[in-house]
Amino acid sequence: MKNIAILCSGGDVSGMNPALKHFVEYSLEKKLTPYFIYDGYEGLIDNNIEKVSYSDVSGIINRGGTKIGSARSKRFMSQKYREIAKQNLDILNIQMLVVLGGDGSFRGLDTFYKEHNVKFCGIPSTIDNDINGTDYCLGVDTALNTIKTSIDAIRDTASSFKRAFVVETMGRDCGYLALVTALTSGAELCLIPEIKYDLNSYEEDFKIQMKNGRRYFLAVISEGIDNSADEISNWFEEKIGIESRVSILGHIQRGGNPSVYDRLMAYKFVTYAIDGLLNGENNSVICHTKNDFVYKSINEVVNTSHTLDKELISCINKPS
Ligand code: ADP
């Protein structure tokens, strides 16, 4: 029997619990013994590691956050503590790690691999969607849905009271959450760190819109832009002449019931991570890249019947 462990590092996201559930079930299906490492690299250093089975992951698929905790670890940055971590893994004969985290966590793992040859596969997990090489990071869809629900509610009051609302999303230096939210919530203004902006250039157009009967404005801004949400709000009041309010969504964006897409992606990321480890991918990050739009002939579309995705069909539970 080979032993495999999973840990969560850095910020938690919705989708980690569904990933833990599938990790345990798929490991057992592949005749591996699954272990949980609690509280990220801290648990690896402190030997907070536990053998797990089906009952440890029952009832968690619909829960946000992570059952095994997540942490940042200063100690894991030092070779001395990584040595201790390796000793802990050796005692339990764990040769493979699956890590849910961001690029910082993966950098740490790669150092660990180079020093101690512990195989790993990283699963990109951050609501910021800012990891190079993957189009999707676990947790993003749930965060977007949470933001959408909040903005839909804000829109109701904005239109009732003739107001501008400035909604700030998370994302650090990445404007992905704000950009997708602005597009899918019909915002009039979207400001993100990647694009230089000049508020004055919106002034005339917004005033004309007000004259023509617009009752409210919705601005979605990313936390990483040069101006604060209050400054944008003051601009609406002073330059456009509409009462304005700020709503900083903060940590509600991270938690909550994982969306269908995040549950499915958790399932797929974990399957690929474990398969990769069993097939010689010793130090990789499992990335998800674009499904493009393609033009197809009418013949191809209407003369061939639809078939279900083979990969999905293969996931159906089979009798053991
Ligand atoms: P994220 O994984 O979300 O990018 P961080 O950058 O905070 O988050 O990294 C998470 C953890 O990964 C750190 O607290 C540290 O324990 C570990 N880590 C990051 N970089 C390194 C490194 N160069 N060497 C060893 N460990 C690292």
CATH number for the domain that contains residue 38: 3.40.50.450
Are 20 and 34 in contact, with CB atoms under 8 Å apart? no
Q: State which of 81, 105, 128 you would mutate to test the pocket of ligand 1, scoring each by most atoms of that ligand within 8 A of its C-beta.
A: 105
First to last CA, the chain: 18
| CA angle (166 as vertex; 158, 222 as ends), nearest 5 | 145
For residues 248, 253, 254, 256, the Cα torsion angle rounded to the nearest 10 degrees is: 130
Same domain, 135 and 72: yes
Query: Ligand 1 atom closest to Cα of 106?
Result: 2
Task: Decide whether any atom of ligand 1 lies within 6 Å of the 259 Cβ.
Answer: no
Query: How many whole angstroms from 141 Cα to the centroid of ligand 1?
Result: 24
Q: What is the pLDDT of residue 243?
A: 95
Atom 10 in ligand 1: which residue has the minimum CA distance? Answer: 105
> Is 318 among the domain residues?
no
According to the model, what pLDDT value does residue 60 have?
97
Query: Can you give the residue range of the structural domain that contains 208?
Result: 141-254
- Contact 9 CB / ligand 1 (< 6 Å): yes
How far apart are the CA of 107 and the centre of ligand 1, in A?
7
Which residue has the least CA distance to atom 24 on ligand 1? 108
Ligand 1 centroid, distance to 83 Cα (angstroms):
16
- pLDDT tens digits, 196-210: 999 999 999 999 999
Structural domain contains residue 309: no
Residues whose CB falls within 8 Å of the CB of residue 268, separated by 6 or more in sequence, listed in order? 288, 311
How close is the Cα of 163 to the center of ligand 1, in Å?
42
What is the whole-number distance in angstroms between the Cα of residue 128 and the centre of ligand 1? Answer: 16
pLDDT tens-digit profile of 65-94? 999 999 999 999 999 999 999 999 999 999
pLDDT value of position 292: 85
Query: Could you tell me which of 229, 138, 152 has the C-alpha nearest to residue 184?
Result: 152
What is the per-residue pLDDT for 175? 96
CA distance 246 to 234: 10
Q: Looking at the predicted structure, is the pLDDT value of residue 146 above 90?
A: yes
Q: Would 320 be classed as within a structural domain?
A: no
Picking from 179, 195, 188, 111, the residue whose alpha carbon sits closest to that of residue 147 is 179
Phi, psi torsion values for 124, nearest 5 degrees: -60, 120
* Residue of 109, 120, 121, 187 lying closest to 148 (CA atoms): 187
∠ CA 123-127-129, nearest 5°, is 70
Q: Is the pLDDT of residue 320 over 70?
A: no
Is the minimum distance from the CB of 122 to ligand 1 under 6 angstroms? no
Judge if the beta carbon of residue 70 lies within 6 A of ligand 1.
Answer: no
Edge-to-edge, what's the strand order for the sheet holding 244-248? Answer: 189-191, 217-222, 164-169, 244-248
Together in a domain, 240 and 262: no
Of the chain, the percentage scoring pLDDT greater than 90 comes to 90
**DSSP state at residue 135:** S
The tokens of 221 are what? 């801004």
CA distances from 162 to 168, 237, 247, 304 (A): 19, 12, 16, 52
**How far is CA 119 from its chain centroid?**
23
Q: Are 170 and 176 in contact (CB under 8 A)?
A: no
Q: Give the number of other Cβ atoms within 10 Å of residue 157's Cβ.
A: 13
Q: Where residue 159 falls among pLDDT bands split at 50, 70, 90?
A: confident
Look at residue 63 and tell me if it is in a domain.
yes
Q: How confident is the model at residue 14 (pLDDT cuts 50, 70, 90)?
A: very high
Q: What is the mean pLDDT of residues 4-32?
A: 97
Are 70 and 104 part of one and the same domain? yes
Return the CATH number at 250. 3.40.50.460
- Going by alpha carbons, the residue nearest to atom 23 of ligand 1 is 108
pLDDT for 162: 87
Q: What is the mean pLDDT of residues 85-105?
A: 97
Q: Is residue 80 part of a domain?
A: yes
129 and 264 inside one domain = yes
Ramachandran angles phi, psi of 283, nearest 5°: -150, 80
Beta-bridged to residue 100, according to DSSP, are 8, 123
pTM score of the predicted model: 0.94
Cα dist from 7 to 39, 43, 101, 177, whole Å: 7, 9, 9, 25
Residue 249 has pLDDT above 90, yes or no: yes
Q: Is the CB of 11 under 6 A from ligand 1?
A: yes
Indicate if ligand 1 lies below 6 Å from the C-beta of 105: yes
Query: For residue 173, is pLDDT > 90?
Result: yes
Residue 317 pLDDT grade (very low, low, confident, very high; cuts 50, 70, 90)? confident
> Is there a single domain that holds both residue 133 and residue 269?
yes
Residues 85 and 159 reside in one and the same domain: no
Q: Which of 244, 246, 247, 240 is nearest to 201 (CA)?
A: 240
Residue 318 has pLDDT above 70, yes or no: yes
Is 139's C-beta closer than 6 angstroms to any atom of ligand 1?
Answer: no
- Is the pLDDT confidence value at 1 over 80? no
- Write down the pLDDT at residue 290: 81
Atom of ligand 1 nearest to the CA of 71: 14
235 and 275, same domain (yes or no): no
* The total number of structural domains that make up the chain: 2
pLDDT in tens, 273-316: 999 999 999 999 999 998 789 999 999 899 989 999 888 898 88
Please report which helix (H) or strand (E) contains residue 284, including its range.
strand 283-285
55 in the same domain as 18 = yes
The rounded distance, in Å, linking the Cα atoms of 42 and 10 is 11
Ligand 1 neighbourhood includes 81 CB (under 6 angstroms) = no
Q: Which of 135, 106, 127 is nearest to 284 (CA)?
A: 106
For residues 52 and 21, membership in a common domain is answered with yes
- Residues marked active site are found at 128
Provide the pLDDT for residue 49: 98
User: Could you read off the pLDDT of 221-244 as tens digits, one per residue?
Assistant: 999 999 999 999 999 999 999 999
